[in-house]
A and B are shown apart, each in its own frame.
Chain A
Amino acid sequence: MNEQKNILVVEDERPLAEAIKIKLEKSDFVVTTARTVKQALQYLEEGVKIDVIWLDHYLLGQENGLDLVAKIKEESSSWREIPIFVVSNTATPDKVQSYLRLGVNKYYTKADFRLELIIKDIKDFLNQGE
C-alpha cells in the first residue's frame, strides 16, 4: 500500500545528517543526503525521483537553504511541487517568514523537536496527499 518514498536530506552537520538518515530509513524512506545547495540541485537534475525535501538553513558553501528553496520554487522549475520541511536552529521570525512566504510546508527548530515527531508529520503529510 505505502510504497517507499524518496527523501532528499540537505544538512551540513555530518552527525545530524547521519541520525536523520538512520531514523528516516527505519521509517521506510529512501534517503539521499546533500551538504550543499549545489549538491542538492545536482541530485534533482540527475532525475532522481524526490517526493519530499528535508532542509537545514545554514549549509556548507556560500548558499543557504533559502537560496535552494528560491531555486526550487522558481516559476519555470519542474520541482515546484516537491514539499519542503525546514528543520533548523536559526528560528528568527524573519527567516521563518521568508521560508513560509516562498512556499515551504513547515518550519521546525531542531533542538526543540524529536526526530520521531518531525518524521511523523512528514509521513502524515505525504499520506494525506494520496
Chain B
Amino acid sequence: MKLLLKIISILAVVSVIAISLVLYFIYTSVGGTLQASHAEIQSLNTKQSLDIIDRILYERYLDIQLIAGSVPLKKLLIGQPVASSDVRQRMDEFLLLTGPWYDLDVINNDGVVVYSADNEELGENISDYPADYLAFTQAQSGRVYYSDLLKAENTQKPTIIFATPIIDKNKIAGVVLGRFAWPVILDFLSTSGFDRIYLYNKDKALIGSGNRADLVNILKQKQPVSLNGITPDNSLIIKEPINNDSVEFLASVAYSDGYLNYLGNGWQLVIETPTEKIFSAVNKVITFQLIIILIIAILTALSFLLFIFYFIVRPILTLTRVAEAIAHGDLTKRAPVVSNDELGILTGTFNNMIDELRGVYGKLEQRVAEKTKGLSEALVKLKKNNESLSATQKSVLNVLEDVEEEKRVSEALAKDLEKFRLAVAEASDHIVITDKEGIVIFANKGVKNITGFSNSEVVGKKVGTDKLWGGLMDKKFYEKMWHTIKVDKKPFAGEINNKRKNGELYTAFASITPILDKNGEVEFFVALERDITKEKQIDKAKTEFVSLASHQLRTPLSAINWYAEMLLAGDAGKLNAEQDKYIKEIYSGNQRMVALVNALLNVSRIELGTFAVEPQPTDFSVVAKSVIGELQPQIKKKKLNFNFNYDKSLPLIEADPKLVRILIQNLLTNAIKYTPNSGKISVSLIKKDGSVEISVADTGYGIPEAAKKKIFEKLYRADNIREKETEGTGLGLYIVKNIVDQAKGKIWFESEENKGSNFHIILPFKGMKKKTGSKELTPN
C-alpha cells in the first residue's frame, strides 16, 4: 500500500500546482480585460461629463450677450429717458430665464454701477473690486469676458464672472456683468452617478466634487500628485490614503477645451473607481470557475488512481506477496501473469527464477547426502588418531607444568600492572593518555574532579580544543606544544589556562610526554596536569600584600623625611653640631628605607607581572649621563676615578627609558657602594651587531667564588660585602636580571675578590615589547 500512497501524494502535488497555475492565468487575463474595458468606459464618461459642464458655461456665455443687447439698458446708459420699472422688468426676466445668476450688474463707462439686480451695489464704483474691475475693463475693450472660478468679492460664494460690452451705435455705452451661480455645476457633479468625480482648474485646485462634503475644500485642496502626467487617453492606477489606509483607484481624466466660442479655462475632470470594486466582478467569475475546475480535477485524479491501482499497483502487490513466501522457503507459490507489458515480463521472469532456484536446491540436498557419507568414514579414522593423541597429551602436560610457572610470573606482573592502573586511576592529578593524534583513550578520576568532564565525555575527543577543557591559549602556544611533543618528540611542560565544564577558568601545570614505539615513532601521549589555580592565587595575594604594605609604609616615611628636612633647614631654629649630625643620620636612614620600599615594590610588580613596559626611541647615553649626574656627589665623596665612554654611533633604541635607567642606576650604585675610596669605576656603552652592551667595571671588593651563583637571587647579599657595607637590599641585581630577561637580553659578569667586578648587559635593539601593566617600576 505504500506504493499507492506515494502515487496519491505525487498526484495531489501535481494537481494542486496545475490548478493554481490555471487559476492564476484566468485571474490575470480576466482581471486585465475587465480593467481595460472599465477604463475605456470610464474615460468616455469623463469626457462626456466635462462636455456637459462646458456646454452649461457656453450657454451663460451666450446669455450675457443676449442681456447686453437689451434696449432699456442701452437707453439707461446713454441717458435717454427710460422708466426704471422698464429696466427692472427686463432685468427680472433675464434673471428668471437665463443664468442662473447670483447677480446682474450694469456699469456705465465711469465704472459706476447703474443697475444691480439685488440693489446692494447700486451706485458703487466697480474699481473697488479688483475681480469685477478686471471683468469691466476686459469687456470695455470690446470682448466677451469670463473669469475662472473665484470667490465673489462681496459674498465669498464660488462663482464665474461673465461680462460683455453694451454697444450702442458702434460705441461702448457700458458693461453688463453677471455672477454665475456655481451650485448648478456642483448639482450636476453630485447627480452624475460617480462617487468620486472631481473638477480641477488649470492651477490644479479643486473647484468641484460629486461629494458635497468637499465644498469646504473648494479652491483650497490641490489635485493629488499621483494624477500628474495622466492623459485623457490612458487611465491610471493610483493610490490614495483613505482613513490611514492606502486604497487603489482606477482614475480617468478629461481636459476642457470649451465649446464653440467659449474656449474654457483649461479645467480637468477626474473620475475614480476603487479597483476593488472592478475586481469584485472578477472574483465572482473566478469562484465559479474554481469550483468547476476542482470537480474536474478530482474526477480526473480519481480515474487515474483507479487505473494505476488496477494495472500497476495490484500486480506489484501480488508479486511482493509471492516474493515474501519464497523468502520464507515456500518455493511452490507463483505469481499470475495478467498482462503482456513490462510488469507481465517481470512476473514471468520472476516465476522462471523460482523454478531455477528450486532446481538448484534439489541438487544441493543430493550433494550434502553424498558428503555426509564421506564424513562418517573420516570419523572412524579420527577415532584411531585420537588414541595416539592421548599418548602425546601426557607429554604435553609435562610441558604445561612449566607453562604454569610462567603464568604465575605473568599473573604477578599483571597484578603489579593492576596496582599501577589503580594508582593512576585514583591519582588526584589529571592524567590522560591519548593516541598519536591527541584523541583521548584513557582519562583517570582526577580528570573528572578537575575538569568536570566525565570519562565518557572525554574518551574519543581531541585534547587541547574547546570541546574539552582546552582551546583558551593562543594558537601559537598549541602549535609550539604539538611541535615539541610530536615533531621533536620531547616532553613538554608549562602552565596552561583551561576551562572547566561549568565554564570556570583554572590554571594547570601540564607535563606531556610522548611514548615512542620500537621504531621511535610516537605511539601515545601521556599528559599530567595539576590544578595550580589556588597556588597562583596565594602567590598573587602574597605579592599584592607586599605592594599594599609598601604603599602604606611610604606615608610615615614621608613624614620622617619632611620633618627631618625642616629641622636640617633650621625651620625650627638653628641646630647645634651634634643635633645636626643626629638628624642627618635619621634623614639618611630614612632615605635608605624609602629606597628599600621602592625596591620591594619593584620586586612585587615584577613577580605579579603587572609592571608596564613603554618603549620609545631612547638615547642610552642621555639616560646614563643623567644617572651619573645624580650619583656625582657619592663619586666625589669617595674620590673615585670615574670614567664614561660611549659609542657616538649608537642609534636611538626602542626601549623604556625608565627601565634602562633602573639598569644603569643599579649597576652603578653597586659599583660605587662596593668600591673603596680612590678606586676606579668605568661605565661604557658599546654598539654591537643589532644590540647595545652596557658595561660597568669597578676595582672594588669583588664577588667571592661561592656567591657567584647566587648573586642574582632575591634578597641575596654576598658575605664579604655584608661585613663591609651595611647598606643594600639584596634586591637590585634581582630586579636588573628580571628586566634584562623581559627585554630578551643577557647579563653576566667577571669578578675576582678584592680586585673588582665587571658587569655586562646586552640588550637587543628590538627586545623591549610594549606591555600595558597597571604599575611601572620606580627608580630607587
Query: Which B534-592 residues have C-beta < 8 A from chain A?
Result: 551, 554-555, 557-559, 561-563, 565-566, 569, 571
Top 7 closest A-B pairs, CB basis? A89-B554, A110-B558, A111-B554, A19-B562, A93-B776, A111-B594, A15-B559
| Known A26-B571, A93-B612; contact A109-B778, beta-carbon cutoff 8 A | yes
Q: How far apart sit A16 and B569, CA to CA, in the bound complex (Å)?
A: 17
In the complex, B774 has a CB within 8 A of chain A = yes
Set A26, A90, A94, A115: member contacting B562, Cβ < 8 A: A115
On whether the beta carbons of B571 and A110 are closer than 8 Å, the reply is no
Q: How far apart sit A15 and B554, CA to CA, in the bound complex (Å)?
A: 13
- Return the chain A residue nearest B614 by Cβ: A93
In the complex, A45 has a CB within 8 A of chain B = no
The secondary structure that dominates the B interface is helix
In the complex, A116 has a CB within 8 A of chain B = yes
Q: How far apart sit A92 and B551, CA to CA, in the bound complex (Å)?
A: 11
Q: Which of B554, B558, B774 is most buried by chain A, counting CB atoms within 10 A of its CB?
A: B558
On whether the beta carbons of B565 and A116 are closer than 8 Å, the reply is yes
Q: Which residues of A contact B612 (CB under 8 A)?
A: 93
Query: Which B217-253 residues have C-beta < 8 A from chain A?
Result: none
Q: Which residues of B contact A23 (CB under 8 A)?
A: 562, 566, 571
In the complex, A102 has a CB within 8 A of chain B = no
Nearest chain B CB to A3 CB, angstrom units: 23
Query: Which B753-775 residues have C-beta < 8 A from chain A?
Result: 773-775
Q: How far apart sit A109 and B775, CA to CA, in the bound complex (Å)?
A: 14
Q: Which residues of A contact B562 (CB under 8 A)?
A: 16, 19-20, 23, 114-115
Chain B contact residues (Cβ within 8 angstroms of A): what range?
Answer: 20 to 34
On whether the beta carbons of A22 and B551 are closer than 8 Å, the reply is no
On whether the beta carbons of A112 and B776 are closer than 8 Å, the reply is no
Q: Which residues of B contact A26 (CB under 8 A)?
A: 571
On whether the beta carbons of B776 and A13 are closer than 8 Å, the reply is no
Number of A-B contacts (CB under 8 A): 57
On whether the beta carbons of B774 and A19 are closer than 8 Å, the reply is no
Can you list 14 contacts pairing A with B, beta carbon distance less than 8 Å? A15-B559, A16-B562, A19-B562, A20-B562, A23-B562, A89-B554, A93-B775, A94-B774, A109-B554, A110-B554, A111-B557, A112-B778, A115-B565, A116-B569
- Return the chain B residue nearest A13 by Cβ: B555
| Known A92-B775, A94-B774, A116-B565; contact A13-B554, beta-carbon cutoff 8 A | no
Chain A contact residues (Cβ within 8 angstroms of B): what range?
Answer: 20 to 34
In the complex, B597 has a CB within 8 A of chain A = yes
- Return the chain A residue nearest B559 by Cβ: A15
- Return the chain A residue nearest B572 by Cβ: A22
On whether the beta carbons of A90 and B561 are closer than 8 Å, the reply is no
Q: Which residues of A contact B571 (CB under 8 A)?
A: 22-23, 26
On whether the beta carbons of A89 and B566 are closer than 8 Å, the reply is no
On whether the beta carbons of B597 and A111 are closer than 8 Å, the reply is yes
Q: How far apart sit A14 and B774, CA to CA, in the bound complex (Å)?
A: 29
Nearest chain B CB to A102 CB, angstrom units: 18
On whether the beta carbons of A22 and B566 are closer than 8 Å, the reply is yes
- Return the chain B residue nearest A109 by Cβ: B778
Nearest chain A CB to B219 CB, angstrom units: 56
On whether the beta carbons of B559 and A19 are closer than 8 Å, the reply is yes
On whether the beta carbons of B774 and A16 are closer than 8 Å, the reply is no
On whether the beta carbons of A115 and B566 are closer than 8 Å, the reply is yes
Q: Which residues of B contact A13 (CB under 8 A)?
A: 555, 559
